[in-house]
Amino acid sequence: MIKKVSSGVLLILLLVFLAAGADKEKKAYELIYKDVQILKQKIILLEGKIESNTEDIKRIKEQFSELLTLVRQFQRDQASFKEEQKQIPAQYQILLEKIEIMNSQLIRLFGELIEIKNASFTPVQPAEPSAAEESPPTEETGNKRTETKEETPQTPLPNPSLSPQVVYNMAYTDYLKGNFDLAIQGFNLYIEQFPKSPLSDNALYWIGECHFSLREYIQAIEQFNTLILDYPDGDKVPAAYLKKGISLAELGKKEEALLVFKLLITKYPLEEETKIAQQKIKELSS
């Protein structure tokens, strides 16, 4: 009997333990299920954020592409602007030369008009006295002779003195016409008479150009050296360096010419003469 009671008790305890274990498993499953649901919600939120970030990244890529296009356009515009800037000095020089030619022509035309005007005035010669006038004058004839003496002949107008600009323009016109000897005389006269003129350095340069055109390279180099030493800040200095280098090359002084060209490139890297100097270096080095 006691054995049966013990077996019943054990069976009851076993059932209790089994029930308790089932409850624990049930609770464990419920906890796992809740965790899974939470994870699903987090995944859904994460997917939403990823989609939102993807859209943001796409917009950023589009903006970056537009910015890159603008940068490239700016670089092209800047390169075009630099190229146009390089052409300005040459165009400006051509314009100045045309203005100088027109100014010279106007000055010469003015001089011709003055000469024509002066030639139109002829001095009035006093009339020789007649026999009647040699006789003792009466009061009436005396008055007439007195009036005749008071008349004075009209003299021609004096020629105007040449201004510095006139002398310079005349010499420059001779240079353009190929009258290099006359141009040299004119520019030398300009330098002698107007040594402090702002165009004195230009006059020196054109004297050198005249000698260069006459293939008198030694005299040309002397003029270019004078310009470089006396007017180191003059606007014709880069051109003087270039023509000096070419003159040395024509004289067969290759090494000296190369040194002058390299000095020009170092001192004036942005000038138009620098491009020509670089080409001359290639020619001499080949």
pLDDT attached to residue 122: 37
Region 14-23 average pLDDT: 65
Q: What is the Cα–Cα distance from 222 to 244, expressed in whole angstroms?
A: 9
> Is the CATH code 1.25.40.10 the one for domain 165-285?
yes
Of the listed ranges 14-23, 110-119, 173-182, 274-283, the one predicted with least confidence: 110-119
Domain boundaries, the chain: 165-285
Q: What is the Cα–Cα distance from 217 to 256, expressed in whole angstroms?
A: 14
The per-residue pLDDT for range 91-106, each reduced to its tens digit, is 666 666 566 566 555 5
CA–CA–CA angle 160, 165, 171 (5° rounding): 100
pTM of the shown model: 0.46
Are 247 and 213 in contact by the 8 Å Cβ rule? The answer is no
194 against 85, higher pLDDT: 194
Q: Which two tokens stand for residue 45?
A: 């939120």
Report the greatest alpha carbon distance in the chain. Answer: 208
Q: What is the Cα–Cα distance from 93 to 95, expressed in whole angstroms?
A: 5
